[in-house]
Amino acid sequence: MIIALGLDIRIFDQVSVIEKAAYKTATTAFLIVVGLSLLANGYMGMMLYGGWFSAVTFALFFGFIQFSILRIALITLLSKPLAAEADSIATMSADTNVKTSFVKTWTNRLSKIRLASVFRILFVGLIALTISFPLSSLIMYPKASGIEDSHRMELLQQELNNAPARSEIQHAHFPFFVFKELWQEGTFKFILMVSICFVYTPLFLIARLRFNQKFEYLEKARQAMLQLVAIDYDETIEQAQYALNQEFPKNKKKLKDLSIYADAPINSIYKNETKHTIGNKIAFNQFIQSIE
């Protein structure tokens, strides 16, 4: 079940029972929302075209789109930046000027996180609306059906002498008029708000897990990914060094000694910050040439 959120089973098995239960609860809420999405979209297809084929088509097509967006909104919360540890070390060890640059860096990152959160909430909100309106109408089906029939009869009365228009009205459906009329009902508004809140529930649960310092899954996943990046980095260095060794003694360079970074494989901290000006191409080239 937890595979729905892309969780790594091997890492998931290492966390506490409470944390496992929390992730399972969030996954269950997500799957329930997906089920409600299929139901709501199917009913929306029925409201628009009045046939089972349209209901199935809407349920599968729009349900898949909403499932994908909701899943992306959730799984993007289930990861941490690989360079988080390196950044904290660099911040503690750097001088005042470097600290200022890292403050600016973190300010930019926080601004991006806030912007990402705004977009995440916005997209989930749009999905919540598209699910909640037809779902709430389905719950109030007798009322919704009566509104549509009454509106159809009213339109037919207005077109008594227009046979083609009467035929078209007879087979037409008016879901948005139904929504408009149901909006006048307090019960509909209450159900709508409950539905919207429930669609947001998986996002709130995952966000709570994301920022809960007691839970270990995200940090363990970050460490595991960092190990994979380090392995790939070391293999690349070894393969490149092997190619250089073929030119010995003409080329006696050791790539690991030539690395300009102090925190491979993240490569965010320069070994000698004073010899390099960030953003200056000339200074960077001079820094590269100064390495023996």
Q: How many CB atoms lie within 10 A of CB 77?
A: 21
pLDDT above 80 for 173? yes
pLDDT above 50 for 134? yes
How confident is residue 89, by pLDDT bands cut at 50, 70 and 90? very low
Tell whether omega for the bond before 265 is within 30 degrees of 0, i.e. cis. Answer: yes
- Tell me the mean pLDDT in the region 90-96: 42
Q: What is the pTM of this model?
A: 0.74
pLDDT above 90 for 29? yes
Instruction: Kindly calculate the radius of gyration of the chain based on its CA atoms and give it in whole angstroms.
Output: 29
pLDDT in the model for residue 96: 41
For the chain, the domains span 2-140+185-214
Of 5-9, 65-69, 145-149, minimum mean pLDDT range: 5-9
Q: Which residue has the higher pLDDT, 111 or 119?
A: 119
pLDDT above 50 for 95? no
pLDDT in the model for residue 71: 92
pLDDT in tens, 246-273: 877 777 778 777 777 878 888 777 777 6
CA gap 173, 134 in Å, rounded: 14
SS (H, E, C) 206-256: HHHHHCCCCCCHHHHHHHHHHHHHHHHHHHHHHHHHHHHHCCCCCCCCCHH
- Tell me the mean pLDDT in the region 88-98: 43
How confident is residue 93, by pLDDT bands cut at 50, 70 and 90? very low
CA gap 70, 78 in Å, rounded: 13
pLDDT in tens, 31-77: 999 999 999 999 999 998 888 999 999 999 999 999 999 999 998 88
Structure tokens at 135: 């779902």
